[in-house]
Amino acid sequence: KQAQIGDVYLSSEAIRYHDRRIPLPGFDAYGVGHFPVLHLSKMAHELGLKVGVVSTGNSLDCTEKDFEMIEENNGSIKEMEAAAIAYVAHQLEVPFFTLKAVTDLIDSGLQTGPEFLKNLDLACINLLTKTQSVLSYLAANPAEWVLSST
């Protein structure tokens, strides 16, 4: 979805699981999960953040089935932590969003591990910079995110 190494994404719409496969009617939806996030599109635009659905899995690599489920989730960025945190935030009714930096591309044809390690420093630097910008923005515009969370 046009992601580049080092891009920083702000979650939009929801956080979803993509590799909790439960092939039983009614239970399959539980395996996907769907945790809403704050709607902060104005902030994303002003800070130059890409936006997209975050799809969480349990593995660094991406199987063909994972890829299919990410597509079904309308996922823009694949990662391994956000859905667990989003689940707890949802249970506690705490407003939530994520910032994620791209370290590797699941459709690049490269081995995931080496690509991840090669790009980790750049992703961390970009994520740090954007996190600082987001915190400054939220401090200066509290009405935007407080109202989004109600």
Residue 100 has pLDDT above 60, yes or no: yes
1 or 86: which leads in pLDDT: 86
Residue 146 has pLDDT above 70, yes or no: no
Per-residue pLDDT averaged across 68-93, rounded?
90
Please list, residue by residue across 66-101, b when 16 or more beta carbons sit within 10 angstroms of its beta carbon and e when fewer do.
beebbeebebbbbbeebbeebbebbeeeeebbbbbb
Question: What size, in residues, is the chain?
Answer: 150
Q: Considering just the CA atoms, what is the radius of gyration of the chain in Å?
A: 16
Task: Write down the pLDDT at residue 72.
Answer: 87
Residue 88 has pLDDT above 50, yes or no: yes
Task: Write down the pLDDT at residue 150.
Answer: 47
| pLDDT per residue as tens digits for the range 9-47 | 999 998 988 877 788 888 877 777 789 999 999 999 999
